[in-house]
Amino acid sequence: MSATFGVNTELSRCVLRLIGPSDHSPSPIQRHSTLPRFYNGFLSLSAASENLKVTRRTRISPRLLSMPTNSSSESLTYRDAGVDIDAGSELVRRIAKMAPGIGGFGGLFPLGDSYLVAGTDGVGTKLKLAFETGIHETIGIDLVAMSVNDIVTSGAKPLFFLDYFATSHLDVDLAEKVIKGIVDGCQQSDCALLGGETAEMPDFYADGEYDLSGFAVGIVKRDSVINGNDIVAGDVLVGLPSSGVHSNGFSLVRRVLARSGFSLKDKLPGEDVSLGEALMAPTVIYVKQLLGLISKGGIKGIAHITGGGLTDNIPRVFPKGLGAVIHKNSWEVPTLFKWIQEAGKIEDAEMRRTFNMGIGMVLVVSQEASNRILEGGGGAYKAYHIGEVVSGEGVSYH
Amino acid sequence: MSATFGVNTELSRCVLRLIGPSDHSPSPIQRHSTLPRFYNGFLSLSAASENLKVTRRTRISPRLLSMPTNSSSESLTYRDAGVDIDAGSELVRRIAKMAPGIGGFGGLFPLGDSYLVAGTDGVGTKLKLAFETGIHETIGIDLVAMSVNDIVTSGAKPLFFLDYFATSHLDVDLAEKVIKGIVDGCQQSDCALLGGETAEMPDFYADGEYDLSGFAVGIVKRDSVINGNDIVAGDVLVGLPSSGVHSNGFSLVRRVLARSGFSLKDKLPGEDVSLGEALMAPTVIYVKQLLGLISKGGIKGIAHITGGGLTDNIPRVFPKGLGAVIHKNSWEVPTLFKWIQEAGKIEDAEMRRTFNMGIGMVLVVSQEASNRILEGGGGAYKAYHIGEVVSGEGVSYH
């Protein structure tokens, strides 16, 4: 049965975050020849677009060809057939031909001595769990988190956020809950909710369902951009804890749930919360913490751990020729991930490429800075020394 | 049968553009007591948010309770029952309690001597016609148009755009067509496509369907903001032609089509295009034209004619105590609108409140400036003297 709901890992790697390696060269034009995902079709459009850096994400979820049967003995992976594995990378290639360069976690637009940094994202199929659990109060926090956590990786302070809420029939109580979460997310990231669009689209969404997208804009001085350029072998990887699955990997989560025999109301084994509550825990917004740490210096690169996990997201901030070694026992993997892995019989590598495994943000810092940051502001926050930068490429776990 | 697919006009007026009257006072705080839709819950969040002006749109489409029967003799209006008419205004009221002030066509964020101006919108149920006609190449132009036409009304030059494309299963050919349209729209508005999100969301959308939202950011010097403050009775209303229905009113269009007995492939009577082609004509992007006109001075206010038509959108740029008289024969209403009105037996007032009637943008200008603008740049563009500003309120047609 696994072939009926599988998806190929290559697709996830290619396109879950199709924005590829980050911007390490001073001019995007220089990157064109070596990194085909970077290009600058729009540079001629505007004098201001010198040094423009563009990002395009793709959040690809496997298509459910049929619902998985309960309690299969087969291991759940993203490798099986059932979705066109080349679709995502093909779209990237085609967009690359006609649209601006792609790179980093947020698009950079030069403005005077600063960059405006913009990011957009939705919350993917975590929405389905919101529908199923009835927990709508925090999905707006997830929405804001996805975009502001991206733009803060460049050192940008978020200025404002806008949301798009689409549904087939406006339910005021439901919309109010969702937007209240967005307001909370904006407060947590100290940015203004500058606008939004509520779209009632008959015949688009199932009853009681909706889709969300969000847009954040921040600003950073040009000479303060965090871009990974100064990262060297020997730098330290500092991990900041996640609150759970955050807003990625939910297509796999839903498959695991379907085969596990567990309901969302069942307790997460070993914890005092239901599975639904644990899965719906709002994404941590790292903005204030990161801006505080950045202001003290020593942070060379920041990776927001979303789809692709530690495995795919950490290398995106590295210059060519560098990789990472992760000490896999350097933090406690939360119970929720252990349950998902066990219930889905998912291999370690698959877990690490799909989920954040308890680490939602990774800082690449000098050894000097690492001591200060790992001290955790006198206990004000948790931080883990999870690994080091090494010569080579990719991420290995020891 | 009309009760099965009707919708109340009050809802449309309240919430199709729920952002209400525009910003005429120097500080949003001053507006709080008189205009309940303006408030500033977020002013305390950021020192930069002084003079923040926020916009929230709602694009409310009537819910199809059942499909209309063919060739009914009843007049189609938005007045009948079938949708909770208070939902939209109730949501506004609740958001107003928890989120920032609402006003104008785009949110304004102070930055140094400038404002960043941001807007977000989708294209509503025009998408359904894209699905039915198979015309996907230009819906991206509509998407860009809806946001950039909003922000340029404040005098802001669009800097960049981001899109969100959501579908249940990524069809690369289809996505490429849509994104190509977005690229075209960005080129037409001389802004960069700075990023985007392609979200594959299983079980959210019907096969072959997708939703789109867009987000534009522009910039304008604080002392150059066009805000309607200087508008006086006697000022001239100059209309710029639309290309058709643009991206509003499609829920009514679909009802008219369903009862007309016409197919989208049928010729629009009296024209050499099909109904589908006429309805799918991409929204005009007025950015370059407007920025050119603005640079020459004399433009006091600009109204983007979307949902609510001339009737509801023109007054939004006026100071309190002013209204408009429209000379209804001052431009030729395009054949498409005449066909819609006839096929749907729609009353004049209903048409004018739902559709742009051939005028996509209205400039409020001094008499001196009107001559220069109406001369049309020596024939480079069309412009109509469609009316005047008068003491009073609302819009009347003579």
pLDDT in tens, A98-114: 654 444 566 899 999 99
Decide: A76 and A255 in contact? Cβ < 8 Å.
Answer: yes
Mean pLDDT, to the nearest integer, of A68-85?
A: 44
List, in sequence order, every residue forming a beta bridge with B221; answer none if it has no partner: B114
Closest by Cβ to A213, choosing from B108, B197, B204: B197
Query: Is the Cβ pair A204, B198 closer than 8 Å?
Result: no
Assigned domain for A51 exists: no
Task: State the CATH number of the domain containing residue A253.
Answer: 3.90.650.10
User: Would you say residue A81 has pLDDT above 50?
Assistant: no
Report the alpha-carbon distance of residue A223 to residue A325 in Å, rounded: 29
Decide: A240 and A310 in contact? Cβ < 8 Å.
Answer: no
Assigned domain for A130 exists: no
Closest C-alpha among B54, B35, B34 to residue B43: B54
Query: Is the Cβ pair A172, B111 closer than 8 Å?
Result: no
Report the alpha-carbon distance of residue B368 to residue B297 in Å, rounded: 10
**Mean pLDDT over each residue of chain A, to the nearest integer:** 80
Interface confidence: ipTM more than 0.90: no
**What letters, b where the CB count within 10 A reaches 16 and e where it falls short, cover A109-134?**
bbbeebbbbbbbbbbbbbbbbbbebe
Number of H-type helices and E-type strands within chain A = 14, 12
Tell me the two tokens of residue A342.
């066990």
What residues 105-144 of chain A have any CB closer than 8 A to a CB of chain B?
106-109, 111-112, 116, 118-122, 124-125, 127-128
Query: How far is residue B275 CA from its own chain's centroid?
Result: 21
Assigned domain for A10 exists: no
Instruction: Give B-chain residues touching A204 at CB under 8 angstroms.
Output: 125, 127, 205, 209, 211
Q: Is A164 on the interface with B (CB under 8 A)?
A: yes
Query: Is the Cβ pair A57, B195 closer than 8 Å?
Result: yes
Assigned domain for A32 exists: no
- Please give the residue of chain B at the shortest CA–CA distance from A45: B190
Decide: A352 and A324 in contact? Cβ < 8 Å.
Answer: no
Helix spans in chain B (H)? 9-11, 28-31, 87-98, 126-133, 139-152, 172-188, 250-260, 275-280, 287-295, 309-313, 335-344, 348-354, 367-374, 376-379
User: Would you say residue A11 has pLDDT above 50?
Assistant: no
Contacts of B341 (CB under 8 A, 6+ apart): B348, B351
User: Taking CB atoms and an 8 Å cut-off, how many pairs form between chains A and B?
Assistant: 290
Closest C-alpha among A280, A158, A173, A276 to residue A214: A158
Instruction: Give B-chain residues touching A201 at CB under 8 angstroms.
Output: 61, 122, 124-125, 127, 211
Query: Is the Cβ pair A192, B83 closer than 8 Å?
Result: no
Query: Is the Cβ pair B197, A168 closer than 8 Å?
Result: no
Assigned domain for B266 exists: yes
pLDDT bin (cut points 50, 70, 90) of residue A95 is confident
Q: Is B195 on the interface with A (CB under 8 A)?
A: yes
Query: Is the Cβ pair A122, B197 closer than 8 Å?
Result: yes
Q: Which has more confidence, A54 or B388?
A: B388
Task: Indicate the residue type of A80.
Answer: D
Report the alpha-carbon distance of residue B53 to residue A346 in Å, rounded: 49
Assigned domain for B70 exists: no
Contacts of B349 (CB under 8 A, 6+ apart): B311
- Please give the residue of chain B at the shortest CA–CA distance from A185: B99
Query: Is the Cβ pair B211, A190 closer than 8 Å?
Result: no
For B25, counting Cβ atoms within 10 Å of its Cβ (0-12 exposed, 13-18 middle, 19+ buried), the class is: middle
Closest by Cβ to B200, choosing from A59, A109, A163: A59
Tell me the two tokens of residue B276.
């589908």
Report the alpha-carbon distance of residue A117 to residue A284 in Å, rounded: 20
Decide: A276 and A257 in contact? Cβ < 8 Å.
Answer: no
Assigned domain for B59 exists: no
Instruction: Give B-chain residues touching A48 at CB under 8 angstroms.
Output: 159
Domain, as residue range, for A300 = 227-398
pLDDT of res. A365? 98
Task: Indicate the residue type of B353.
Answer: R
For A212, counting Cβ atoms within 10 Å of its Cβ (0-12 exposed, 13-18 middle, 19+ buried), the class is: buried
User: Would you say residue A214 has pLDDT above 50?
Assistant: yes
Kindly report the backbone phi and psi dihedral angles of residue B99, in degrees, each rounded to the nearest multiple of 5, phi listed first: -125, 175
Q: Is B65 on the interface with A (CB under 8 A)?
A: no
Decide: B204 and A211 in contact? Cβ < 8 Å.
Answer: yes
Closest C-alpha among B248, B236, B246 to residue B383: B236
**Kind and range of the H or E run holding A181:** helix A172-188
Query: Is the Cβ pair B169, A119 closer than 8 Å?
Result: no
- A118-155 residue pLDDT tens: 999 999 999 999 999 999 999 999 999 999 999 999 99
pLDDT of res. A76? 60
The 3-state secondary structure of A230-295 reads CCCCCCEEEEEECCCCCCCCHHHHHHHHHHHCCCCCCECCCCCCEHHHHHHCCCCCCHHHHHHHHH
CA count, 13 A, side-chain hemisphere, B264: 17
Contacts of B217 (CB under 8 A, 6+ apart): A116, A118, A217, B116, B117, B118, B151, B158, B159, B160, B161
- Please give the residue of chain B at the shortest CA–CA distance from A82: B169
Cα dihedral: A353, A355, A357, A360 (round 10)? 110
For B261, counting Cβ atoms within 10 Å of its Cβ (0-12 exposed, 13-18 middle, 19+ buried), the class is: exposed
Decide: A360 and A284 in contact? Cβ < 8 Å.
Answer: yes
Query: Is the Cβ pair B186, A42 closer than 8 Å?
Result: yes
- Please give the residue of chain A at the shortest CA–CA distance from B174: A91
Decide: A100 and A52 in contact? Cβ < 8 Å.
Answer: yes
- Which residues of chain B carry a pLDDT beneath 70? 1-89, 92, 96-106
Tell me the two tokens of residue B280.
């799918």
Range of weakest confidence among A21-35, A309-323, A341-355, B146-160: A21-35
What residues 267-306 of chain A have any CB closer than 8 A to a CB of chain B?
none
Q: What angle do CA B236, B362, B75 make, to 5 degrees?
A: 115
pLDDT bin (cut points 50, 70, 90) of residue A276 is very high
Chain B interface test: which of A137, A163, A215, A251 (most B C-beta within 10 Å): A215
Decide: A162 and A195 in contact? Cβ < 8 Å.
Answer: yes
For B132, counting Cβ atoms within 10 Å of its Cβ (0-12 exposed, 13-18 middle, 19+ buried), the class is: middle
pLDDT of res. B7? 26
Query: Is the Cβ pair B63, A169 closer than 8 Å?
Result: yes
For B1, counting Cβ atoms within 10 Å of its Cβ (0-12 exposed, 13-18 middle, 19+ buried), the class is: middle
- If you ran DSSP here, which 8-state letter would residue A329 be given? T
pLDDT of res. B378? 82
Closest by Cβ to A120, choosing from B62, B95, B197: B197
Report the alpha-carbon distance of residue A305 to residue A312 in Å, rounded: 9
Closest C-alpha among B210, B127, B129 to residue B166: B210
Kindly report the backbone phi and psi dihedral angles of residue B71, in degrees, each rounded to the nearest multiple of 5, phi listed first: 45, 45
Report the alpha-carbon distance of residue A82 to residue A95 in Å, rounded: 24
Instruction: Give A-chain residues touching B99 at CB under 8 angstroms.
Output: 179, 182-183, 193
pLDDT of res. B376? 81
Percent pLDDT > 70 in chain A is 74
Query: Is the Cβ pair B160, A116 closer than 8 Å?
Result: yes
- A172-187 residue pLDDT tens: 999 999 999 999 999 9
Q: Is B4 on the interface with A (CB under 8 A)?
A: no
Number of H-type helices and E-type strands within chain B = 14, 12
Closest by Cβ to A192, choosing from B109, B120, B203: B109
For chain A, give the number of residues: 398
Range of weakest confidence among A16-30, A310-324, B166-180, B283-297: A16-30
Closest by Cβ to B124, choosing from A18, A201, A211: A201
Task: Indicate the residue type of A274.
Answer: S
3-state secondary structure of B59: strand
For B33, counting Cβ atoms within 10 Å of its Cβ (0-12 exposed, 13-18 middle, 19+ buried), the class is: exposed
pLDDT of res. B74? 61
pLDDT bin (cut points 50, 70, 90) of residue A12 is very low
Cα dihedral: A369, A374, A379, A382 (round 10)? 130
Instruction: Give B-chain residues touching A181 at CB under 8 angstroms.
Output: none
CA distances from A279 to A133, A146, A224, A342, B204 (A): 10, 16, 36, 16, 20
Report the alpha-carbon distance of residue B318 to residue B313 in Å, rounded: 10
Tell me the two tokens of residue A255.
């498959």
Query: Is the Cβ pair B83, A191 closer than 8 Å?
Result: no
- Please give the residue of chain A at the shortest CA–CA distance from B119: A195
3-state secondary structure of B212: strand
Q: Is B166 on the interface with A (CB under 8 A)?
A: yes
Q: What's the structural domain count of chain B?
A: 1
CB count in 10 Å sphere of residue A33: 9
- Please give the residue of chain B at the shortest CA–CA distance from A178: B95
Q: Is A8 on the interface with B (CB under 8 A)?
A: no
Assigned domain for A371 exists: yes
For B220, counting Cβ atoms within 10 Å of its Cβ (0-12 exposed, 13-18 middle, 19+ buried), the class is: buried
Mean pLDDT, to the nearest integer, of A31-55?
A: 33
Tell me the two tokens of residue B322.
């002013």
pLDDT of res. A107? 85
- Please give the residue of chain B at the shortest CA–CA distance from A202: B63
Residue matched to tokens 């867009």: B214
Contacts of B34 (CB under 8 A, 6+ apart): none
pLDDT of res. B19? 26
